[in-house]
Each structure stands twice: as C-alpha cells, then as structure tokens.
Chains A and B, each alone.
Chain A
C-alpha cells in the first residue's frame, strides 16, 4: 500500500460509494415511525395574519400534528426568535408574513399525501400590506417597515459586533470604511470615473434540496439529521430555540448534494424539530425545488463606484456605495455587507477611500451566503470599472492591474500587512493561457472599421482578493488504533469539495500511513469536536492544520512510549514511513502499541486545535487568517448582428498556497468557474411585484455541458502561506469571482459594448450594438 502524501492526486475516499449509488444523502434516509412534514407558505410578499384555522386540516386521516404560531408563542419551552446574526426569524410567521414563501404553518402526517392534503386545508385570513421590493424604496423615510424592531442575540459573531440594525428603518446594517482623505484624493486625480453596476438575486441550485429528519425524545433530547454546512452553528441555534444545553442536541450530517453557501446556518431544522416535538414522532422534511428559492438566495446589489485616477493609471481615490438586498431576514447579510465593503477597493492599493456598504431589508426571500459572498458583488463593479479606466487612458488592462495590484508586504485597506500574495502570478498565468498579447487589439474594433464578417472576438481578464472568516475555530481528534490504522474525527462536512481525502492525506503524511488504513468519520456533533463551519474556503487551512496538529500529538505520544519501552532518550527517536526509528532498531506502530498495552488493543488519541484571532502571529491586526488571490481570463466571440456571444475559452488561476491534491484543486477551480459562468451569463431570479416567477430549473437557467467553452484551464499558483498545513490556503470560492467581469471585459474588447448589469445576455449586447449604429 502506498503511503499517504501531499502534492499528489489520490483516488478520492468518497468516490466509490458515490458512483455505485450507495452513498446515503438525507432524502435517502428514514426512521421507523417517521412522519412526513410539509410547510404552508405565504402567497403574499407582505401581509398581516388575522386568523389561521386548522380545524379541517387536523381532521384529515393520517395527520399527526399541525404547527402554527400558537405553538411557538405560547410554549414556554420555545424561544420563538432566532437567526445567525440578529434574532429576526421565527419558526413560522407570528404576526405577519414578510416574503412570498415565508412559512406560515406546517403539518406532520403519516403519508406525504395526507400532509399535502392538510396543508391545502389550512385556512389563513391575511390582510395584505404594501410591500417593499427595492433597496432604494426601502430606504426612503416613509417606507413601510419590514421589521418594526429587531431583537439582538446575547452573544454573536465577534467580527460583526459593530454592525447593528437601525431602529425605525429598513437598514439592516451599514458598514463604513474610510481611509486617507477622500476630498484630497479626488483633488489629486487627473480623471474621475463614476459608474453604477447591478447584479440580480440568484440561487445556489444545489441538486439536493434542503432536508432534515428530526427526532425528539421524552427527555427533550433532540437528534437531527441535517443538510447543513455548519452543524455546530445549527446545534447552538437549536439549543437556544428549544432552551436545552448544546449537549442535548445532536446534529448528524450525511454527504451533502452540494452546498455553495446555501446550506450554512439554520434552514429547515427549526421547523422540523418543532414538528417532531409536537408530533411525538420523528419527522422528515424534504423541500421541493420551488421552496429552496424561498429559503435562501444570493444578494442582489446596486453598486455606485467613483474612482479617481492619475494620468499614468495610478488609482488614488475611491468612493463607493453598495446596496445589498438582504430580503426579509438578516441571515448573514451583515457579513455580506462587511465583506463587499472590504473588497470594494479590489486587490489594489488605493490611498483614499470612502466605502459605505448597506444591507437592506425588503419583502423578498432572504439572501445569504453564496460561494464568495460579498466579493462576487463588489468585484463585478471593481473589475468592470478597471477596464473602463484602462480603455479611457489607453492602457493595457493587464498592465493597469499589475501597476496597482498588491504585492507581498503591502498594506490592505484595514492597514494590516498582506503576506503570501500571489496576485500577479495569477494574472500572468491566465493572460498567458488565453494568449493575451496575440489577437487582442485592446479597443473597440467595431467603432474603428466596418466589420468584414459578422463575428468579432475579444479577450478580457479580472482578478480579486478575498478574506476568510476570522476569528474562527477548528478542532480535530485522531485515533491511532491497535493495528496502526487511523480514525479521523472532524466537523468538516463533505459536500463535494474532497475534504475527506485531503484531511486523510494530511494525517497520513504526518504519520506515514496509507490512505487505505484511514477512515474519516461522518459528522456527528456528539462524536466529533467543534468546528465553526465548512464555508469561507476555510477547511483545508483550518481543519487541515488541526488534523496535522492532532497527528503530531500522536507522534509525541509514540515518542514517549518508545523512549520508555526501549530506554532511549526521546531526542534519538525519529519517524519514517510509518515506523519508529530507534538508534539500534525500528518498530512499527502496531508493535509499539502492543508493548504499551500488553495485548492487541488500546487507542492513542491525538488532539489538535486551531483558533484564529483578530491579531496575527506578529501581533498585528488580522481581518483574515490568510488571503485569497485569483484571476480569470475569457475569450469570447460575439455575433454583431444578433448580440449572441459564445465563451470560447476560460482560464482561471488561484493562489492555492500548496496544491495538496492537484486534481482536487483543479476540480474546485474549474467548478467554481463554471458556477461563475452561470452567474455571468444566465442566472437571475425574476420577480413580478414580489412574486418569484422562475422558482424552478426550467425557467431559472443553469449552465449545462452544452454551454461550456471548448476549454476551461484551471491553473494552481503556489505561493505558500507559512501558517497553513504544508503552505496550503483555501480554494473553494476564489475562481468564481473574476468570471463575470472577465467575460464583460472580453465582450467590450470584441465589440465595444460595456455591460453593467448582470447577467450578460445577448439582448443586452444586441441593444448596445444597435445604439452604436
């Protein structure tokens, strides 16, 4: 058996069970005596609930429990309000519904048919209210309030402590960043550019919808099987809602059928537990596709960006307002506002900044985390305007980025020092991959010469910087068994990213054990130690480091045992290829375990903890435990008669620090880029007066194989981060972010049409071309 290693592609540990259809996802599971849960949802964007009549529903044969506001408002064992940042959500609506699809009631029944019949029989008397459907409208002085007031939790996320809702308004949070002197900055500028960019709400569209099975026993012991990326956050939230210690809540997470940020924080878990508690039986809720669109979306945004530039292309000042539509509930909107604010300067040195980033309540489904949140909003504006500036100054878009871009040791907008910065390497790699210099004119060809044919080609690029959630915690336990096999206990959720394999590689590399002898246990909060979340591209860096420390803890124990058993000084003991090397001899772990325990048995337990803080190892302020740098480049072909365009090639480069599993890295890069292609070219939740008109995968378009360019080139740049395991950084989100502006910039290069509103559709290009004529 080959020993585990890093920097090498290994057959993934979760593949065989997945290709044979044996992997159990949540909807594949059931419990004896289990009921099926269904949710009644609001047909209105905003309405007061006058009355709910469940008398007919309760009499339907097979119906075990009907849950309404009466159950959560009058039960001393339930805290009705919850939410990851503010307590503005309830299990079911209490006084009013705040968005189309807001849960109003729920039913547990012995069959799905009975549950659906009961849902259809609940009579709700609504008084419709004017709805706030637009961020600008929402901020007007006389706007209808989505929340009359918002409750704050006793303790929340450390990095969001300063962000509070403004009472009596729809302002959920206002993040401010000021640097230098903005008036002075604009006074120094030779040119000032001002543009407004928008991007619509979109949906994660994981093929596995949110689902949950909950069981509550008589001792108020709560067990949930959940499709969640952060089981420990769900555990805390459930413990708060149902007023029990966290030890009484057990969260088990099977393989997820995709997450992409849409499965962080509580989703269907609270309502499923409440139903199970009332029914006195286990309950399973599996959302229908349409319901997923009502549960979580990506923030739509309007971004006004004003930038002052010197004649030579040096950026000197930026004023930026970002309005993010957070929908009816804050969810993680405050952090989205903060992250988009931090990154509104892009990966560029700009001395004078005035950034205001707002998350705003509206009567739309809640918006939350979506792969690369905050940054994919700000980068659309930053990187589109960068090319507007380059074109106006007649500069090469690659050169103006390199001129202003961050280098090692530069100060970020928060005045902290950036380390391990592979930005320019990423830019160079993608430029080379698409042949930046050749066949690129850098200006609007159609304006200059009449077209000879009906298509024009163009190239564009974009780059980004992003932070990871800081501070945060990851703990890991590694057990060395009596036969020298290894069990890994971590709270990292395998949702497709390949975390099981990479964590096993790290542990195996440290201990010299083959992957075949390593089992990564599934996530069960009763068993694995605490981990904050599988999101923010943080797991390889944080959990990987925790696993590495846990493995080294085992090595220290083996050293002590060998020293005692063989009477050699500890400093003479080394390890290689899974063996303990002593001056005279070598022993394998199983032999040493036998010596230690006196029989074939026993366990050595290694523990590792990683805790990042708002100060780095040098005592300097730290907004992010490490930094993500990435670039993307696109080549497009535009039909000038119709505006229809084809993506011919896309190159994506991410500074991965160290590629622990190269194929896994390339999958993440290409996969994120493909999601980015969907966001750039197709995806948009369409609303008509607060009603979603495309909450299904027919009308909401996902990219398919038919939409793929001939080539997507994923490139791993390696600028190691000394604090990561073997130098590795996170990689899950970065490649998505540059896609939309890179494509928009390529279209501009091809035909001189600047698209400022996502998605980039043929009709927008066509209308632009017609205006030029």
Chain B
C-alpha cells in the first residue's frame, strides 16, 4: 500500500506516493530525476549515494523514503546557486579531488556536513569524517587538500 509523504528537496516542497519499501535514493533518482547521487555498494558502506537529510549525511540506498517524510533533503544538485559552484565544489575542482566522478557527489556532501559541523577541522578529523566514502580512483590526497582549502577560505 502506497503512503503519501511530503518533504523538502533542495529547498522545494515535494510530495510523493511511495511504496513503504522504496528507498530514498530511488525516490530522488527515479521519481524526482535527481541522479547526482549514485548507487555504489547498496549496503551503506561506499558513500556514493550520500544525501544530506536535516543537515546530516546519510546513505540514501539504505534509508526508506517514508522515513524522510517531513525532512529537509539536500542533493548535489541543490548545492550550486545560479551556476556558481559552492566553495566545496570549487575546491574539489581546483585541487583535482576527483577522477571518474562517481563518488564525488557523496564526498562533496559529506565534506559540506563536516564543515557545517566543524568549521576548521584538523587533517585527522577530515580523514576520520570522510573514511566512510570510497574513491576507487584513489583521489584521497587531493580530497584532503580540497577540504582543507575550503576550511581556510571559510
């Protein structure tokens, strides 16, 4: 039986009729057409599907859409405004913190959550906070550099 939910996605109010077993990732990708978040491992370890729900990074592959009822969801598509990159996005570009780009939306949103929580993280805090996201191309050093640099800008 479908359930009606309402939530805010990138600042816009949305409603949806969803099967209780639908994941938040499928909701944003398949129904809302926001495909920036990717399915990677499907078991909450790789971080490619990361979204911000009420400001916290979560693995959308393992969260039910019904549990996001009433929540504020931010996806990578909601980060840049009027074609101007968010400072975290800009730092990722400048420091070459991505190769294939499949993990990138997850890393950027997790990094944003870190900086919202701890505006000036130490390198160890960056390593610990981002350890739940995989970059198989191996851009970890560049990612640390990028996040550090956002820190100094903010």
Which residues on A are within 8 Å of B, measured CB to CB?
Answer: 9, 11-12, 14-16, 18-25, 27-28, 204-208, 255-260, 288-289, 495-498, 663-664, 666-667, 670-675, 696-698, 702-706, 708, 712
Query: Which of A670, A697, A708 interacts with B46 by CB under 8 Å?
Result: A697
In the complex, chain B residues whose CB is within 8 Å of the CB of A14: 101
Q: Beyond the given A258-B102, A674-B140, please list 20 additional residue pairs across the A-B interface where CB-CB is below 8 A.
A: A9-B96, A12-B96, A16-B93, A18-B98, A19-B76, A19-B93, A28-B35, A207-B38, A207-B40, A207-B41, A256-B100, A258-B100, A259-B100, A289-B40, A289-B41, A289-B42, A495-B100, A697-B46, A702-B134, A704-B133
Report the 8 A-B pairs with minimum CB-CB distance, sorted nearest first: A21-B36, A496-B100, A257-B102, A674-B138, A18-B101, A496-B99, A671-B138, A21-B76
B108 within 8 A of A: yes
B93, B103, B136 — most chain A CB neighbours (10 Å): B136
In the complex, chain A residues whose CB is within 8 Å of the CB of B36: 20-22
Closest A residue to B101 by beta carbon equals A18
Docked pose: A259 CA to B136 CA in angstroms: 10
B104 within 8 A of A: yes
In the complex, chain A residues whose CB is within 8 Å of the CB of B75: 21
Inter-subunit contact B127/A21 (CB<8 Å):
no
B130 within 8 A of A: yes
B137 within 8 A of A: yes
B97-140 CB mask vs A (1 if < 8 Å, else 0) is 01111111100100000000000000000111011111011111
Docked pose: A260 CA to B137 CA in angstroms: 9
Closest B residue to A714 by beta carbon equals B141
Inter-subunit contact B96/A663 (CB<8 Å):
yes
Inter-subunit contact A20/B80 (CB<8 Å):
yes
In the complex, chain A residues whose CB is within 8 Å of the CB of B40: 207-208, 289, 697
Docked pose: A569 CA to B43 CA in angstroms: 69
Inter-subunit contact B93/A257 (CB<8 Å):
no
In the complex, chain A residues whose CB is within 8 Å of the CB of B108: 19
B143 within 8 A of A: yes
Inter-subunit contact A705/B99 (CB<8 Å):
no
Closest B residue to A9 by beta carbon equals B96
A-B contact count (CB 8 A): 155
In the complex, chain B residues whose CB is within 8 Å of the CB of A9: 96
Docked pose: A179 CA to B1 CA in angstroms: 73
Inter-subunit contact A207/B46 (CB<8 Å):
yes
Closest A residue to B42 by beta carbon equals A289
Inter-subunit contact A706/B100 (CB<8 Å):
no
In the complex, chain B residues whose CB is within 8 Å of the CB of A703: 138
Minimum CB–CB distance from B132 to chain A (whole Å) comes to 7
Inter-subunit contact A207/B131 (CB<8 Å):
no
In the complex, chain A residues whose CB is within 8 Å of the CB of B46: 207, 697, 702
Provide 29 A-B residue pairs closer than 8 Å at the C-beta atoms, listed in order of the A residue.
A11-B94, A12-B96, A18-B98, A19-B92, A20-B89, A21-B36, A21-B105, A27-B38, A206-B102, A208-B40, A256-B100, A258-B99, A289-B42, A496-B98, A497-B99, A670-B141, A671-B99, A671-B137, A674-B138, A675-B136, A696-B41, A702-B134, A704-B133, A704-B134, A704-B140, A705-B140, A705-B143, A706-B128, A708-B141
B10-25 CB mask vs A (1 if < 8 Å, else 0) is 0000000000000000
Inter-subunit contact A664/B133 (CB<8 Å):
no
Docked pose: A593 CA to B38 CA in angstroms: 45
In the complex, chain B residues whose CB is within 8 Å of the CB of A258: 99-100, 102, 136-137
In the complex, chain A residues whose CB is within 8 Å of the CB of B144: 705
Inter-subunit contact A21/B45 (CB<8 Å):
no
Minimum CB–CB distance from A569 to chain B (whole Å) comes to 46
Minimum CB–CB distance from B154 to chain A (whole Å) comes to 17
Inter-subunit contact A708/B34 (CB<8 Å):
no
Docked pose: A21 CA to B29 CA in angstroms: 12
B69 within 8 A of A: no
Inter-subunit contact A667/B136 (CB<8 Å):
no
Inter-subunit contact B45/A496 (CB<8 Å):
no
Chain B stretch 58-91: residues in CB contact (< 8 A) with chain A: 75-77, 79-80, 85, 89
Inter-subunit contact B102/A25 (CB<8 Å):
yes
In the complex, chain B residues whose CB is within 8 Å of the CB of A705: 126-127, 130-131, 133, 140, 143-144
Docked pose: A15 CA to B76 CA in angstroms: 14
Inter-subunit contact B99/A667 (CB<8 Å):
yes
Closest B residue to A696 by beta carbon equals B43
Closest A residue to B103 by beta carbon equals A207
Closest B residue to A14 by beta carbon equals B101
B39 within 8 A of A: yes
Minimum CB–CB distance from B49 to chain A (whole Å) comes to 10
> Do A15 and B43 form a contact, CB below 8 Å, given A256-B100, A257-B102, A495-B100?
no
Closest B residue to A204 by beta carbon equals B136
Query: Which of B41, B99, B103, B128 interacts with A498 by CB under 8 Å?
Result: B99
Inter-subunit contact B35/A24 (CB<8 Å):
yes
Docked pose: A256 CA to B132 CA in angstroms: 22
Docked pose: A708 CA to B93 CA in angstroms: 22
In the complex, chain B residues whose CB is within 8 Å of the CB of A11: 93-94
Inter-subunit contact B142/A667 (CB<8 Å):
yes
In the complex, chain A residues whose CB is within 8 Å of the CB of B100: 206-208, 255-259, 495-496
A11, A15, A205, A670 — most chain B CB neighbours (10 Å): A15
